[in-house]
Amino acid sequence: MTQQKQFFPRQVIEAGGNRWDWALLPLVLAVIFALAYGASQMTRPYQVGMALPLSLDPSVLPYYLLRTTLRMFMALGCSLLFSCVFAVLAAKYRAAERVLVPLLDILQSIPILGFLSITVTGFIALFPGNLFGVECAAIFAIFTSQAWNMAFSLYQSFRTVPAELGEAARVFQMSGWQRFWRLELPFAMPPLLWNMMMSMSGGWFFVVASEAISVSHQNIKLPGIGSYIALAIEARDLSAIGWAICAMLVGVLLYDQLFFRPLLAWADRFRFEEMGGDTAQRSWLLMWLRRTDRFQSMTGWMGQQLERSFAWFRLRHDGTSIRARPREGSAGLARLWDAVIAGGVMLAIWQLFTFIHGEVGWAEVGHVFVLGCYTMLRVSILITLAALVWVPVGVWIGMHPHVASKVQAVAQFLAAFPANLMFPVAVMVLVHFHLNPHIWLSPLMILGTQWYLLFNVIAGAASVPSELRLAAQNLGLTGWLKWRRYYLPAVFPSFVTGAITASGGSWNASIVSEYVTWGDTTLQAAGIGSYIAHMTAVGDFPRIALGIGVMCVFVMGMNHLVWRRLYRIANDRMHF
């Protein structure tokens, strides 16, 4: 009776809730109304070629902000589901890991324009006569800018669960379902939330390409902040760009206060040690929710259902049973799986050679590889410079959680700031001072992707156990010795995760950073990004495929030769 009263308090139902329930009721109703209205606008009748009404009037920005934010949260939900499935399969099954991790490298290296050029027609065909097909294409494009970072973060966390916690799970005879909910996901929660924030902000970086779809001479602009920015760039309207920046700032502050800050404050319970009052994250909304009877009843009911699922998926044997012994993989099945993978690779190589010989020619392949080398040089230099700047900053912020709570919204806004809004300044400065675009367009590539490093380093530093911090203080570590023996090993796994996604993001950002337009002025830097952007604009699909394929080769090569080796070092030598 006590538990039933806790989960479903009858006096609350009869009385209609306490004063906190009534205080939050307007906010809940406003969110529900906004979601319902935005969803209804996403399913309006639409035919290909129909011009959607767009305006640079600042009064339409709240509506555009609602449409863009709704698309980004739908993509974020899909990204979270994808990340959980990917991380579980890749971390628990060696055979799946050998396929899924390289596949994620390939997907990460495919630029957003490549996804749009392939998927937009298919999504429109799925929903004929309805705008939801184009909306799905935009949501999928935003998904591709969010999912890979979250998947790598969750995979890295699952691989680095402390051995003593894994042993405790075996002692308590947890099933795979119980281990996921009670150990792995809680352990991965703090860095996952920081990477969700980074993914949300990364979606803003590509929101222009997602909402202002321009593929094969088809121009579709969905109502949203991204299409508003694209229209302002075409009209060379600096005041409209200023209004777009203000609208973005309002949107970031709203979802920071209403979504991410409560989640981060709630996730403090999943840290190794109790958080002190001065260092714990705080959220006014979470405090309100904890005082509401309706919310407590709802969360209690959800917890009860989760507990019931543990009984459904429990182990059917105890630790002494022969079924409790780990199963050894069959050597024959392993060799068969290797043969299937090798056969798939050989088939892909044969198809690639056939495509090159029949569609583009080997001279074009050599030219694109040279362009890829230019972009790779830019990416390598920019990632190195970003690491030198943001690793010390991220360590300092992560070691001071009260500082992290203050800079959280600022960091999200800076990470959400689209590089497209810097195009007017970049074009005017380069034209006025006659600067070389091959050099001075390069910083635009790192504007959005450098934050992957910062957010992951913050998450890694924030998750360092307090015992380790006290040990470093007692040993009197200072200067470079403190960095070499304490700070860098503590954040190195998170840094590698951030560097992988920052590197892949920089390759993607090269498409909008090496081919910059402002009105009728276009600046172009030699690189594979500008090659893909130009071929996408003219609708040359064989060369689009060639550019995407070569970019995949470069990204996978860097991941395999550099980042994966660092990743193994992080797992083997720098794991607490």
Residue 95 or 184, more confident: 184
- Write the DSSP assignment of 65-116 as a string of letters: HHHHHHHHHHHHHHHHHHHHHHHHHHHH-HHHHHHHHHHHHHHHHS-HHHHH
So what's the pLDDT on residue 536?
Answer: 75
pLDDT at residue 278, as a whole number: 47
User: What confidence category does residue 14 fall into, taking pLDDT thresholds of 50, 70 and 90?
Assistant: very low
CB 177 within 8 A of CB 309: yes
The yes-or-no verdict on residue 217 having pLDDT over 70 is: no
CA dihedral 327, 332, 337, 338 (to 10 degrees): 120
CA distance 246 to 12: 42
- Angle 95-100-101 (CA atoms, 0-180°, nearest 5)? 105
Look at the block and give the residue holding tokens 């198809």. 351
How much is the pTM? Answer: 0.77
Residue 320 pLDDT greater than 70, yes or no: no
| Residue 56 DSSP code | -
Note the pLDDT of residue 326: 55
Residue owning tokens 């404050």: 265
pLDDT of residue 247 exceeding 60: yes
What is residue 117's predicted lDDT score, i.e. its pLDDT? 67
pLDDT, residue 331, reads 66
- Segment 225-240 shows an average pLDDT of 86
Nearest Cα to Cα of residue 462 among 406, 415, 410, 395: 395
- Per cent of the chain over pLDDT 70 is 86
Give the per-residue pLDDT at 203.
Answer: 79
Q: CB of 281 within 8 A of CB of 261?
A: yes
Q: What is the rounded average pLDDT of the residues 1-7?
A: 40
Closest CA to 117 of 222, 213, 221: 213
Most confident of 90-94, 122-126, 410-414, 556-560: 90-94
> Is residue 73 over pLDDT 90?
yes
Most confident range (mean pLDDT) of 86-90, 209-213, 343-347, 430-434 is: 86-90
Closest of 238, 155, 157, 146 to residue 200, by C-alpha: 146
> For residues 51 and 66, what is the distance between their CA atoms, to the nearest angstrom?
20
Q: What is the pLDDT of residue 275?
A: 47
- Would you state the pLDDT for residue 4? 40
For 209, counting Cβ atoms within 10 Å of its Cβ (0-12 exposed, 13-18 middle, 19+ buried), the class is buried
Backbone angles phi, psi at 138, to 5 degrees: -65, -40
Chain-wide mean pLDDT for the chain?
80
Check residue 574 and give its pLDDT.
Answer: 52
Amino acid identity of residue 470, one-letter, is L
Q: Is a pLDDT exceeding 90 seen at residue 66?
A: yes
pLDDT at 114: 66
AA identity, residue 267: A
pLDDT greater than 90 at residue 370: yes
More confident residue, 489 or 576: 489
Q: Give CA torsion, residues 234, 237, 238, 244, to 10 deg.
A: -80
Distances, alpha carbon 264 to alpha carbons 107, 190, 330, 404, in Å: 29, 7, 43, 11
Query: What band does 398 get if pLDDT is binned at 50, 70 and 90?
Result: confident
Neighbours of 306 (CB within 10 A): 12
pLDDT digits (tens, 9 = 90+) for 497-506: 888 878 877 8
Residues 21-39, mean pLDDT to the nearest whole number:
86
What six digits make up the tokens of 116? Answer: 């749009």
Q: Which amino acid is at 421?
A: L
For strand 212-215 and strand 218-221, is the pairing parallel, antiparallel, or unpaired? Answer: antiparallel
Dist CA 494 CA 463 (whole Å):
10
Lowest average pLDDT, out of 326-340, 480-494, 542-556, goes to: 326-340
Residue 117 and residue 539: Cα distance in Å, rounded?
A: 9
What 3-state DSSP class applies to 522? strand
Has residue 277 got a pLDDT over 50?
A: no
* Lowest-confidence pick of 60-69, 176-185, 294-303, 307-316: 307-316
Rounded distance, CA 489 to CA 472, Å? 12
Has residue 16 got a pLDDT over 60?
Answer: no
**Mean pLDDT confidence for 71-79:** 93
Cα–Cα dist 49/295, whole Å: 46
Residue 89 confidence (pLDDT): 92
Q: What is the mean pLDDT of residues 162-175?
A: 82
- Decide if pLDDT at 562 tops 90: no
Considering only residues 11 and 421, tell me which one the structure prediction assigns the higher pLDDT.
Answer: 421
**Local structure of 476: helix, strand or coil:** coil
In terms of Cβ atoms closer than 10 Å to its own Cβ (0-12, 13-18, 19+), residue 452 is: buried
Q: How many CB atoms lie within 10 A of CB 143?
A: 25
Per-residue confidence (pLDDT) for residue 408, from 0 to 100: 66
What pLDDT does residue 8 have? 42
Across 176-186, average pLDDT: 88
Is the pLDDT higher at 8 or at 48? 48
Rounded Cα distance between 513 and 419, Å, is: 8
Over residues 410-420, mean pLDDT: 69
Residue 373 has pLDDT above 90, yes or no: yes
Provide the pLDDT confidence category of residue 372 given band limits of 50, 70 and 90.
very high
